[in-house]
């Protein structure tokens, strides 16, 4: 089974001004990320605005990214939704569309016990038993947190659940996840500001929204890590941190959209209820990105 590793770019969903999905820009973005050297792609997650999309739209995005990547990089489709039936439908579609695997966020909004989370994931994994799945744990947004001991149980009964994408800055929990299944459990983190440290700790990589906009410094961090180039890794990590700060770490997706527009990759429109940033903030963003790109020798315009 394939797994996520290295720099996995969380793919932004481009929109037209009226709110429809901009498929040509999505193809352009996919090509850009592959050309920039990311190891994997992860559409339809938080960065992809999953809960603002219909199931039909999510399937079209999955098909577009898989077809555009054409086997040049690993593609895992995020399939978590508000209902189990919709999640299962998206999961089966991801497999039939030719994706390499899937991610499934914990159930959202309503509280789920550890026992309920166990049954949820084991049941879903049984729908596609030979298709690799990553649990996606982002408790600050989903309102449910999955414990290491629960995942241990899940792995015993659902061997195609092979890893987790953890998006909360809890180092002790990360260490516990790394020990699951006799340390054969794949752990990717979403805390980009600590990417270098997390790689050294044993994480397989990151699933990063910021890397979906400026992949270049993240790719450099991972390449430096593989070469055991500690000075290089430290330098590029500092650049990554600056990009994270400027882009608000993904807390407001309109910064990602505007940055991609500045790079000439997508049009930069948001879908309601979220609005685009105002003209003054656009000016500030452009100035800060131009300065950082000059420092890091990264072209702002792609």
Is 257 part of the annotated catalytic residue set?
A: no
Residue 95, in any domain of the structure: yes
Q: d(Cα 228, Cα 256) in Å, to the nearest integer? A: 31
Residue 105 in any domain: the answer is: yes
Q: Which of 136, 177, 191, 225 is catalytic?
A: 136
Does residue 247 sit within a domain? no
The answer to whether 193 is a known catalytic residue is: no
Q: What is the mean pLDDT of each run of 10 residues along the chain (302 residues)?
A: 97 96 98 98 98 98 99 98 98 99 97 98 98 97 96 97 96 96 94 97 98 98 98 98 95 95 95 93 97 96 81
CA dihedral 109, 114, 120, 123 (to 10 degrees): 180
| Alpha helices (H) in the chain, listed in sequence order | 23-35, 55-69, 84-97, 114-127, 139-142, 148-157, 171-178, 180-183, 195-201, 215-226, 230-246, 253-262, 279-296
Whole-number pLDDT of residue 302: 73
Which structure tokens are listed for 86? 């919709």
C-beta separation of 268 from 231 below 8 A: no
Q: Is residue 135 part of a domain?
A: yes
Catalytic: which of 59, 95, 165, 257? Answer: 165
Residues 90, 115, 147, 150: what is their CA dihedral angle, to the nearest 10 degrees? -90
Q: Are 225 and 196 in contact (CB under 8 A)?
A: yes
CA atoms within 13 A on the CB side of 69: 30
Strand-pair partners of 188? 165, 205
CB 27 within 8 A of CB 64: yes
59 within a domain of the structure (yes/no): yes
Task: Tell me, yes or no, whether 38 lies in a domain.
Answer: yes
- Alpha-carbon distance of 70 to 162, in angstroms, equals 24
CATH of the domain at 58: 3.20.20.70
Residues linked to residue 179 through DSSP beta bridges, in sequence order: none
Please give the tally of structural domains in the chain: 1
Does 284 reside within a domain? no
Domain enclosing residue 71, as ranges: 6-216
Whether residue 123 lies inside any domain: the answer is yes
């Amino acid at each position: 089974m394939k797994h996520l590793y290295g720099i996995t770019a969380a793919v932004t969903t481009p929109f037209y001004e009226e709110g429809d999905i901009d498929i040509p820009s999505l193809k352009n973005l996919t090509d850009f990320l592959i050309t920039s050297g990311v190891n994997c792609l992860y559409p339809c997650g938080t960065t992809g605005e999953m809960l603002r999309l219909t199931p039909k739209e999510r399937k079209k995005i999955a098909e577009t990214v898989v077809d555009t990547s054409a086997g040049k990089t690993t593609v895992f489709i995020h399939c978590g939704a508000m209902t189990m039936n919709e999640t299962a439908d998206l999961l089966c579609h991801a497999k039939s569309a030719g994706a390499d695997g899937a991610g499934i966020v914990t159930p959202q909004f309503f509280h789920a016990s550890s026992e309920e989370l166990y049954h949820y994931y084991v049941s879903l994994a049984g729908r596609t038993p030979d298709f690799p799945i990553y649990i996606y744990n982002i408790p600050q947004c989903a309102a449910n947190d999955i414990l290491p001991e629960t995942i241990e149980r899940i792995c015993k009964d659902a061997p195609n659940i092979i890893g987790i994408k953890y998006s909360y800055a809890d180092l002790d929990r990360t260490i516990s996840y790394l020990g699951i299944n006799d340390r054969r459990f794949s752990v990717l983190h979403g805390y980009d500001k600590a990417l270098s440290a997390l790689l050294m700790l044993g994480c397989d990589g990151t699933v990063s929204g910021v890397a979906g906009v400026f992949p270049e410094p993240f790719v450099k961090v991972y390449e430096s890590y593989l070469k055991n180039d500690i000075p290089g890794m430290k330098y590029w990590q500092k650049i990554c941190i600056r990009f994270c700060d400027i882009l608000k770490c993904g807390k407001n997706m309109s910064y990602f959209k505007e940055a991609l527009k500045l790079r000439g990759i997508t049009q930069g429109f948001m879908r309601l209820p979220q609005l685009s940033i105002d003209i003054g903030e656009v000016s500030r963003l452009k100035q800060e990105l131009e300065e950082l790109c000059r420092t890091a020798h990264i072209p702002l315009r792609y």
